[in-house]
Amino acid sequence: MFCPKCGTQVPENNRFCPNCGEPVATAPVVAENDHTEMFDPEDIKRTKILAALCYVSVLFVIVGLLLEPNSKFIRYHINQSFCLYVFALLCGLVAIVPFLGWIASAVGAIAVFVFTVMGVIRAYKGTARDLPLVGKYTIVYYD
């Protein structure tokens, strides 16, 4: 990166040029699991509330697909919520194993709850960040 005023090379994380003090615009740090950039801002604006509701009930997934069949943003969050459903299902399944399974299942249930809240908040804020653990899988294609 170079200073726009004097051309001095500016170290990566500096906000000001070390030579002339000119403020240097730095690109915002984007997390590796953040895919917000690939979605149309208009799409996000229009569909973010529906996308957030997809985490709450599969009913809204159907509504979302019917109302916004071309929205990539909704499909992204539907995929995230489906990954979460599968994870929740697995957490329920391990409960058939006594003791250790029950503990794993209880911990999993807490994780499902936390991930659901995270998904709702991220969708509502208009961002597309993969959920921890479960969000990197693709069940529903969105691109």
Smallest separation, CB 13 to Zn ion (Å): 16
Smallest separation, CB 16 to Zn ion (Å): 8
Residue 20's contacts (CB-CB under 8 Å, 6 or more residues apart) are 3, 5, 6, 8
Query: Which residue, 10 or 74, has its beta carbon nearer to Zn ion?
Result: 10
Query: Which residue, 22 or 42, has its beta carbon nearer to Zn ion?
Result: 22
Pairwise CA distance, residues 15 & 90, whole Å? 47
Per CB under 5 A, the list member of 2, 16, 22, 31 interacting with Zn ion is 22
Query: Which residue, 2 or 113, has its beta carbon nearer to Zn ion?
Result: 2
Query: Which residue, 8 or 138, has its beta carbon nearer to Zn ion?
Result: 8
Q: In the chain, what are the helix, strand and coil shares in percent, each to the nearest 5? A: 55, 5, 45
Count CB neighbours of 15 within 10 A. Answer: 9
Task: Kindly state the tokens that stand for 131.
Answer: 């959920």
Smallest separation, CB 25 to Zn ion (Å): 13
Restricted to residues 1-20, the positions that interact with Zn ion (CB under 5 A) are: 3, 5-6, 8, 17, 19-20
Beta bridge mates, 23: 16
Count CB neighbours of 133 within 10 A. Answer: 12
**Which range binds Zn ion by CB under 5 A, 22-30, 31-39, 82-90, 102-110?**
22-30
Q: Which residues bind Zn ion (CB under 5 A)?
A: 3, 5-6, 8, 17, 19-20, 22
